[in-house]
Structure 1
Amino acid sequence: MLRLLSSSEMVLSLPDEPAIWVTGELEYRSDRPYEVCLDICFLERTYSTWRFSRDLLFEGIKRSTGTGDVRVSPGCGRYRAPGREIDIELHGAHGKQCLLTANATVLRMWCEQVLNCVPQGTEEEHLDIGKEIAALMT
């Protein structure tokens, strides 16, 4: 199993609250080839963990995508020059939501590493179906 990590500063915006800088920790594991994991950390504590489609992240870097709990799009230049940030909208239970604004260069480089590790179309080759079924049965 190959594991790719990226940790970078992001801006967290909540409705009716001032924006704050947090650490976004991205993780990709080749044994879970269709997903990425995003931890939102502040003062060395993880406050929230989100798992979503890696393809959603890849597509969202180029154009707005997502219709569910996670939506990704090129940012409009709130904190960096236009084209230099990516917005990740997270919609939780009971209508709660937040917006993370990430550095586009850092995110693009990490996505390239993920694609070099497991190219699109080869994800299935990295799944251990037997292991997954056994985990469901125990």
Structure 2
Amino acid sequence: MVGPQHPGMNIGPSDPDCPDLHLTLWLHVSQQETLPVEARFHYDRANPFAVSVIFSNAAGGAVTWVLSRELLMAGLLRPSGEGDVRIWPPCRRHGGTNLHVLLLGRTGAALLDVAILPVRAWLADTFALVPVDTEAQSIDWDSSFERVLHRRYW
């Protein structure tokens, strides 16, 4: 459930009970320089374990990463994640205010700084919509099995 998706991936409209979160993230391009990256955090109760983050650029390109909602929440409190996605909270000792997200893809890596307060508030909205340990009740299991059983692998 973690990793990049195709640029044309179908992300549905925002849920009125949990609108998308639009933020400017900061991409580290060197030790001294960061560049702004526009991102949209999307939650769909039909896929309750996941958060989609759509990164877009000025040229109109976009890429979507699908993250575990649980991983994103854990990263607010402590270093979390293995493999493609790693998240860690700001340094309290130095007054940090940004969540750090490391994305590792097939062609490179991206280290992003994300304002923690709006992410924390938005995640709280997702948990109000679909509380912890009730996620499986939101999944249409019949449709999910139907898609898997009719998928071709050759």
Structure 2's unaligned 5+ residue stretches are 1-11
Q: 1:50 — aligned with what? A: 65
TM-score where L is the length of structure 2: 0.78
Quote the residue 1:89 is aligned against: 102
Describe the superposition over 1:35-94 as per-residue Cα deviations: whole angstroms up to 9, x where unpaired: 1101111227343210021000000011110011011111349xxx73411011100014
1:21: how far off?
0.5
SS at match of 1:45: coil
- In the TM superposition, residue 18 of structure 1 has moved relative to its aligned partner by 4.0
105, 119, 134: which one aligns with 2:131? 119
Match status 1:23 vs 2:38:
yes
SS of the residue aligned with 2:119?
helix
The structure with more helix, counted as a fraction of residues: 1
Q: Alignment partner of 1:39: what SS?
A: strand
Contact 1:6 1:110 in 2 (8 A): yes
| 2:29–2:35 Cα contact (<8 Å) kept | no
The 8 Å contact of residues 6 and 27 in structure 1, kept in 2 or not, is answered as yes
The percent of aligned pairs where both chains have the same amino acid is 24
Structure 1 residue ranges (4+ consecutive) displaced by more than 6 angstroms after TM superposition: none
Aligned with 2:141 (options 122, 126, 129): 129
Q: What TM-score, normalized by structure 1, do the two folds share?
A: 0.87
Task: Summarize the alignment of residues 55-66 of structure 1 with structure 2, pairs less than 5 Å apart.
Answer: 55-66=70-81
CA gap 1:131/1:15 in 2 versus in 1, 3 angstroms = farther
Structure 1 gap segments, 5+ residues each: none
Residues 44 and 37 of structure 1, relative CA distance in 2, 3 Å threshold: farther
Pair 69,15 (structure 1): closer, same or farther in 2 beyond 3 Å? farther
Task: Name the CA shift for 1:76/1:48 in 2 (closer, same or farther; >3 Å).
Answer: farther
Distance 1:68 1:131 in 2: 30
Alignment size in residue pairs: 134
Partner of 1:41: 56
Give yes or no for contact 1:75–1:101 (8 Å, CA) kept in 2: no
Given that 1:15 and 1:98 are in contact with CA atoms closer than 8 Å, whether structure 2 keeps it comes out as no
Shift in CA distance, 84/17, structure 1 to aligned 2, threshold 3 Å = closer
